[in-house]
Amino acid sequence: MRRVITYGTFDLLHYGHINLLRRARALGDYLIVALSTDEFNWNEKKKRCYFSYEERKLLLEAIRYVDLVIPEESWEQKRRDVHLYQADTFVIGDDWTGKFDFLREEGIEVVYLPRTPEISTTQIKQEIAAK
């Protein structure tokens, strides 16, 4: 079984996220999503989420492409996770191109997928605020 892992905040879940998850799952047979906790978002990513970790986890677990959701609590956990969850492939959007190449040292494939260009959580918030 080919296992794929990806990381993200996935706040205000939208079709750009779904496009990523669908393509990530298509690279294997099992997709693990490491979901940024509220603390990690606030302290490290300076993101204040609309939905809480539990709400974002519930949404992700309802997606057919997602097999397991785990917490992302630090930037450093990826090296451990790829072994702990026996991942063969790490996938993330190409806005991160190059940032996680070091994971190849752990013997796994690293794939950067093109983002869905016209949609983002920030844009959604801005357009709703402007109405």
Residue number closest to ligand C2G, CB atom: 93
Sign of the C-alpha dihedral computed for residues 15, 122, 12 and 101 taken in this order: positive
Cβ 109 to ligand C2G shortest distance, Å: 15
Residues 6+ apart with CB under 8 A from 89: 2, 3, 4, 5, 27, 28, 108, 109, 110, 111
Q: What's the alpha-carbon Rg for the chain, to the nearest Å?
A: 14
Cβ 17 to ligand C2G shortest distance, Å: 5
- Are 79 and 103 spatial neighbours (Cβ–Cβ below 8 Å)? yes
The DSSP secondary-structure symbol of 30 reads E
Nearer to ligand C2G, 76 or 105 (CB): 76
**Residue 57 annotated to the active site:** no
Cβ 119 to ligand C2G shortest distance, Å: 5
**Residue 131 annotated to the active site:** no
Residues forming contacts to ligand C2G in the complex (CB under 6 A) are 7-10, 16-17, 19-20, 36, 45, 72, 92-93, 95, 115-116, 119-120
List residues with catalytic annotation.
Answer: 45, 47
